Amino acid sequence: MRTTRVVSGALLAALAVLGAAPAAGADETPSPSPSAGESAAPTEAGTSFRTATAVKSGQLATAGASTGDYLYWVFPADAGQDATVRAKVALPESAQRHGAQTWQLDVYDGLRRKQACTYGSSTATAPKEATSVSLACHLRTVRSWAEQSSNDPLPGSYFVRLTVTSLADDDLGLPVKAEVQPAVVDAGGSKAVDGALTAPLVPGATTVQDDAKGEPRQISVQASPEGGWASGTWSSRWLWTAGGAVLAALAGVAGYAMTRGSGRPARVPQGY
Amino acid sequence: MITRKRLAAGACGALLAALAAGLLPSPALADDGDSAEGAPKESPKVELVLDVSGSMRARDIDGQSRMAAAKQAFNEVLDATPEEVRLGIRTLGANYAGEDKKKGCEDTRQLYPVGKLDRTEAKTAVATLAPTGFTPVGPALLGAAKDLEGGNATRRIVLITDGEDTCGPLDPCVVAREIAAKGTHLVIDTLGLVPNAKIRQQLTCIAEATGGTYTAVQHKEQLSKRVKQLVDRAADPVVNPVATKGGASCQAAPKLTAGLYTDRAKFGEHRWYQVQVKPGQELRAAVSIGADRAVNNDYGILVRAFTLSGREIVRGQESGDGRTDVISSGLRYPKSDVDAEKGQEPPAETVCLQVSSSFSAPPSVKTEPGMPVELALDLVDSPKKAADVASFGLGHGWWLLGVLVLVGLLAGLVFGWLSRWRVAVWRTN
């Protein structure tokens, strides 16, 4: 009797651990850190890969610009994360415009390779009477390692470029307001792959820098995740596997106990 | 028996706890914390180039004359200029009031020299301006570029004009491209005060050629806000690339190390660069080619890494269409580590990088100088290759648990029966 109680108690405890594991892994809420408040959000955008403005996950970066400007931001994404970039452009008054405008949101990785959007409209055409245009791009899950010949997303900087790609020539140079918000969430242990980069794809991170001379660093280096880059060794797969091992052991014990039956064996004579 | 079972369960729990403790996320592999944004070595230089031609008298900006709006904007900008910026002012068409086009087209003058800003002095100088002559944009840009010469500071020209350059034969757009090709990292931003197709074309062409921006000004506040923004932009610290010249073949290519480089490539031209990659290192190359002039609608870029013997190792490519500032791609080449003999450094491999683009342009567009190429090279340690699809070959999901529990149960039953059978055999004997 006591045996069964111990076994079932341990089983319940193991299940409780396991129940917590997938919940932690599949945490879908965006993680805008409390310290990175709205006040710190950038209000200017860069104009090239080199001058891209660093923005953190969850921050709403805004910028005033002229139609036709190429606006650049950069944000960090780590292994096992899903990144979604949303952008909204407040267009000039429709009375001033001469036709429809097509806006485009491009996301590039740290090697300036264009990244595919798995969903979200990264290109949108605003008719003449529209007041704003919204764009979105959801990236593939960032992997901790990839073949050299693939351009799978890897941990590192991600550049966002926002621009108008086709418009009536007369509309060039009119003022617009743009806002961009990257959101990075954990993709969960099911997306955890093997292998690891020794350094994230952050341009200029390894360039020999003479700080004594006061040479500026590339801005992308400033865009690192809060708490630093993860090494990619932790995933909820550890919990699943360890939990499975415990359950298997308990099941083994239970199976063993079953063959014993309850109470004393029938064939054991009285007096033993 | 009971005690033994309890012990077994306890051991399992301890094992789990140990696993969990040992495998908690370990922090940071590359964050050294000091992403110090050191001030640039030299303070940035900005020159505001203001059109003071006769047409600036027109009263069409918020009911004020263009000149008054520009003056007011200048006053606000001078007040808000960051301390470290060295600011100068140049005028065009401010002095010669006559009718002689030749003389009028040479009329450009430095109103306030580039240097530490004395706000009162600069404002007084601006206040004296009155709309006068022609619009020699080309000579003014040349003059401004000269004013900003010297040192390796960030340079920016902000051109404010209400008319196109009718002086000829010096096309201001060609002037701008030549200034950009000098490799002095000079950016020209343009602001047009009149919504006119010809002015817009000329000003966008100037901006495009140098990586600058064009703004169509309609209101006073917009003008001062934009100029302030552009001057602030000049103050942002930025890494300037080192100029290099790629070879026509791998053998003739320059040897590069990690860093940021710039080059010029003409249409249809291949550019080669050499990089030494040691075993156990990973080469990372990112390349972008700027569309600094009118180009045809479809374009692409191809970056390839070759061995010295001409075998292609890896490539990066991208293509696109429509308006663009750059087209970019990149590649990674991790070189696996080799066991070197004692005391001997394994030899580095020479990797040849080839950069080409499929930009083309209508015949009217000049092909000289070439389009700007930017090359970012990084060398890091080779990555740890994946030995399995899953992280550390670990399992995940309910199927895994089901299989483990089922197999565990079966194994328990088998062992139980085996031991019962053994006990029974022992007893009978």
Domain ranges of chain A: 2-19+239-260, 29-234
Confirm whether B23 is domain-assigned. Answer: no
- Percentage of chain A surpassing pLDDT 70? 75
Q: Is the dihedral of CA B406, B408, B410, B416 positive or negative?
A: negative
Q: Mean of the pLDDT values across residues B44-67? A: 91
pLDDT number for residue A234: 86
Give the model confidence (pLDDT) of B72-87 as tens digits.
Answer: 999 999 999 998 899 9
Confidence (pTM): 0.84
Least confident of B39-53, B84-98, B125-139: B39-53
pLDDT number for residue B176: 92
pLDDT at residue A56 tops 80: yes
Same domain, B207 and B356: no
Residue B15 near residue A13 (C-beta atoms within 8 A): no
Give A-chain residues touching B13 at CB under 8 angstroms: 10, 13, 246
Q: Is the dihedral of CA B67, B69, B75, B78 positive or negative?
A: negative
Residue among A251, A22, A36 at smallest CA distance from B398: A22
Same domain, B229 and B308: no
Same domain, B225 and B279: no
Give B-chain residues touching A233 at CB under 8 angstroms: 23, 25-26, 391-392
CATH number of the domain that B285 lies in? 2.60.120.380
Range 197-236 of A in CB contact (< 8 A) with B: 197-208, 211, 213-219, 221-222, 224, 227-236
Beta bridge partners of A84: A138, A183
Verify whether the Cβ–Cβ distance A217 to B325 is below 8 Å: no
- How high does pLDDT run on average in chain A? 81
Peptide bond into B369 cis (omega under 30): yes
pLDDT number for residue B240: 83
Confirm whether B26 is domain-assigned. Answer: no
Q: Mean of the pLDDT values across residues B120-134? A: 91
pLDDT at residue A3 tops 80: no
Same domain, B355 and B229: no
Q: How far is CA B416 from CA A249, A258, B74, in A?
A: 14, 8, 93
| Confidence at B166, pLDDT banded by 50, 70, 90 | confident
pLDDT number for residue B19: 40
**Strands B271-277 vs B45-51: parallel, antiparallel or unpaired:** unpaired
The shortest CB-CB distance from B30 to any of A44, A205, A217 is to A205
Sheet bearing B186-192, strands edge to edge: B108-115, B86-92, B45-51, B155-161, B186-192, B214-216
pLDDT number for residue B369: 87
Residue with tokens 């580590």: B337
pLDDT at residue A143 tops 60: yes
pLDDT number for residue B35: 34
Residue B194 near residue B51 (C-beta atoms within 8 A): no
Same domain, B251 and B270: yes
Verify whether the Cβ–Cβ distance A50 to B374 is below 8 Å: yes
Verify whether the Cβ–Cβ distance A202 to B413 is below 8 Å: no
Least confident of A175-189, B139-153, B397-411: B139-153
Residue A176 near residue A88 (C-beta atoms within 8 A): no
Confirm whether B404 is domain-assigned. Answer: no
Residue among B140, B156, B179 at smallest CA distance from B45: B156
Q: Mean of the pLDDT values across residues B385-409? A: 93
pLDDT at residue B26 tops 70: no
CATH number of the domain that B176 lies in? 3.40.50.410
Same domain, B285 and B191: no
Question: Best mutation site among B228, B351, B404, B421 for testing chain A: the one with the most A CBs within 10 Å?
Answer: B404
Q: Is the dihedral of CA B406, B409, B413, B415 positive or negative?
A: positive
Give the model confidence (pLDDT) of A195-220 as tens digits.
Answer: 999 889 988 766 555 454 555 666 66
Distance CA A112, CA B301 (A): 12
Max Cα separation, chain A?
Answer: 108
Give the model confidence (pLDDT) of A100-125 as tens digits.
Answer: 999 999 999 999 999 999 999 999 99
Q: Mean of the pLDDT values across residues B141-160? A: 89
pLDDT at residue B16 tops 50: no
Verify whether the Cβ–Cβ distance B388 to A194 is below 8 Å: yes
Confirm whether B351 is domain-assigned. Answer: yes
Q: Is the dihedral of CA B420, B422, B424, B427 positive or negative?
A: negative
Q: Which residues of A186-206 are buried (b: 16+ CB within 10 A; e: fewer)?
A: bbbbbbbbbbbbbbbbbbbbb
- Percentage of chain A surpassing pLDDT 90? 58
Interface confidence (ipTM) of the complex: 0.85
Distance CA A96, CA A180 (A): 24
| Confidence at B371, pLDDT banded by 50, 70, 90 | very high
pLDDT number for residue B393: 92
CA atoms within 13 A on the CB side of B291: 25
Same domain, B227 and B350: no
Question: Best mutation site among B394, B406, B423 for testing chain A: the one with the most A CBs within 10 Å?
Answer: B394
> Can you list the alpha helix ranges (DSSP code H) found in B189-219?
197-210
Same domain, B225 and B257: no
Q: Is the dihedral of CA B360, B362, B363, B366 positive or negative?
A: negative
Q: Which of B235, B262, B285 is the last residue of a domain?
A: B235
Among A173-177, A224-228, B233-237, B335-339, the range with the most confident prediction by mean pLDDT is: A173-177
Residues with Cβ within 8 Å of A164's Cβ and at least 6 positions away in sequence, in order, are A67, A68, A101, A102, A103, A104, B323
Same domain, B213 and B330: no
Verify whether the Cβ–Cβ distance A255 to B409 is below 8 Å: yes
> Which range marks the domain in which residue B122 is found?
45-235
What are the start-end ranges of the E strands in B291-415?
298-306, 312-321, 326-334, 349-357, 371-381
pLDDT number for residue A218: 67
Residue among B134, B227, B138, B230 at smallest CA distance from B179: B138
Confirm whether B403 is domain-assigned. Answer: no
Q: Distance, in angstroms, between A83 CA and closest chain B CA?
A: 20
Q: Mean of the pLDDT values across residues B235-247? A: 88
Same domain, B196 and B301: no
What are the start-end ranges of the E strands in B122-235?
155-161, 186-192, 214-216
Distinct helix (H) and strand (E) counts, chain B? 9, 16
> Can you list the alpha helix ranges (DSSP code H) found in chain A?
2-25, 219-222, 237-260
Count of structural domains within chain B: 2
pLDDT at residue B246 tops 60: yes
Nearest CA in chain A to B330: A111
pLDDT number for residue B164: 76
pLDDT number for residue A25: 38
pLDDT number for residue A104: 96
Range 255-294 of B in CB contact (< 8 A) with A: 258-260, 282, 284-288
pLDDT number for residue B9: 45
Confirm whether B391 is domain-assigned. Answer: no
Same domain, B286 and B228: no
pLDDT at residue A86 tops 50: yes
pLDDT at residue A264 tops 60: no
Confirm whether B1 is domain-assigned. Answer: no
Other CB atoms closer than 10 Å to residue B152's CB: what's the count? 11
Residue among B186, B192, B158, B185 at smallest CA distance from B77: B158
| Confidence at B21, pLDDT banded by 50, 70, 90 | very low
Q: Mean of the pLDDT values across residues B240-267? A: 92
Confirm whether B7 is domain-assigned. Answer: no
pLDDT number for residue B316: 95
Q: Six-digit token pair at A193?
A: 């792959």
What are the start-end ranges of the E strands in B238-337?
242-243, 255-256, 259-265, 271-277, 281-290, 298-306, 312-321, 326-334
Q: Which of B235, B270, B289 is the last residue of a domain?
A: B235
| Confidence at B337, pLDDT banded by 50, 70, 90 | confident
Same domain, B131 and B276: no
Give the model confidence (pLDDT) of B203-237 as tens digits.
Answer: 999 999 999 999 999 899 999 999 999 999 988 87
